[in-house]
């Protein structure tokens, strides 16, 4: 079973890119982030014609997450509990049947948190606390779980070409990184690091500015975190760098894992 995550940075702007990549990579489940459209405006038919079931938790102009799957989704959850007045579309979860049981998958678009010293950073930290509480509850189910998405967190200096350039950014703050570690400390596994160890240069995002792509000035902020049951099934994990060479690309690229069926 091939599961992918990709921040497309506007599904309407990146529709042709997304369809081309899906035809080539043929993943079974795809978590998309930063759709920048409401659910009714999501181009579902184009993906359905490729054989995908479509789940969307959208928001006008901002945010938005989706899950495309070749399996029928069940037990769908839209939104993350913990703040009743939070209307931002950042979390979508569903269960999918596979040959030997089920897998639970969530598409996550964690808040950016910039600029520092504002409510946006406080919201990021609260959201991460809510995610940890939810993940802790899900782990009690003892089933394969994949929490996939754009976490907007650079976990370690190894995950940035120039970590010194990010010390004043919300993505690399001690509080952000500490909360990411609390997720891992629940028993979750970072799929890319599990497969590739401390290999440097594994980036998933390159800014559009200052020739970041051409200079390989990247960061790794798109992650797939696995429950112990999912980690036991992990056979591969890779970053699809070549997608960044497409015309009018997203500033993120897909990250793909494979689990035993």
Q: Is 252 a known active-site residue? A: yes
Is 223 one of the annotated binding-site residues? no
Q: Is 196 a known active-site residue? A: no
CA distances 60 to 41, 90, 120, Å, are 9, 12, 19
Out of 150, 159, 169, 222, pick the active-site residue. 150
Is 40 one of the annotated binding-site residues? no
Three-point CA angle 63, 68, 72, nearest 5° = 130
Strand order across the 234-239 sheet: 53-57, 65-69, 29-33, 2-7, 255-259, 234-239
Please state, in angstroms and rounded to a whole number, the distance separating the CA atoms of residues 52 and 152: 27
The number of angstroms, rounded, from the C-alpha of 113 to the middle of its chain's C-alpha atoms is: 16
CB-based burial, 195-222: b 16+ in 10 Å, e otherwise: beeeeeebbbbbeeeeebbeeebbbbbb
> Mapping DSSP to helix (H, G, I), strand (E, B) and coil, where does residue 92 land?
strand
Q: How crowded is residue 157: how many other Cβ atoms within 10 Å of its Cβ? A: 13
> Mapping DSSP to helix (H, G, I), strand (E, B) and coil, where does residue 37 land?
coil
Length reported for the chain:
261
Three-point CA angle 230, 232, 234, nearest 5° = 70
Q: Is 52 a known active-site residue? A: no
Sign of CA pseudo-dihedral 124, 80, 259, 143 = positive
| Omega before residue 115 within 30° of 0, cis | yes
Out of 52, 91, 109, 203, pick the active-site residue. 109
Is 159 one of the annotated binding-site residues? no
Is 190 one of the annotated binding-site residues? no
- Binding site per annotation, positions for Mg(2+): 7, 34, 150, 152, 251-252
Q: Give catalytic residues, as residue numbers.
A: 109, 150, 252
- Binding site per annotation, positions: 7, 34, 150, 152, 251-252
């Amino acid at each position: 079973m091939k599961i992918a995550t990709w921040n497309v940075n506007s599904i309407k702007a990146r529709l042709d890119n997304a369809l081309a990549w899906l035809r080539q990579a043929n993943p079974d489940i795809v978590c998309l982030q930063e759709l920048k459209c409401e659910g009714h405006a999501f181009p579902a038919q184009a993906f359905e014609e490729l054989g995908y079931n479509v789940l969307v938790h959208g928001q006008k102009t901002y945010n938005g997450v989706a899950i495309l799957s070749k399996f029928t989704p069940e037990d769908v959850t839209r939104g993350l509990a913990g703040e009743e007045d939070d209307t931002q579309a950042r979390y979508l979860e569903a269960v999918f049947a596979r040959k030997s049981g089920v897998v639970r998958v969530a598409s996550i678009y964690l808040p950016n948190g910039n600029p520092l010293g504002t409510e946006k950073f406080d919201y990021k930290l609260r959201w991460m606390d809510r995610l940890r509480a939810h993940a802790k509850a899900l782990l009690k189910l003892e089933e394969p779980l994949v929490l996939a998405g754009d976490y907007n967190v650079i976990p370690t200096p190894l995950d940035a070409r120039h970590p010194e350039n990010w010390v004043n950014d919300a993505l690399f703050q001690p509080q952000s990184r500490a909360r990411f570690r609390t997720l891992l400390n629940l028993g979750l596994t970072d799929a890319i690091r599990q497969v590739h160890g401390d290999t440097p240069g594994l980036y998933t995002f390159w800014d559009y500015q200052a020739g970041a792509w051409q200079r390989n000035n990247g960061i790794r902020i798109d992650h797939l975190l696995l429950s112990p049951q999912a980690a036991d099934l992990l056979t591969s994990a890779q970053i699809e760098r070549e997608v960044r060479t497409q015309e009018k690309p997203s500033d993120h690229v897909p990250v793909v894992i494979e689990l035993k069926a």
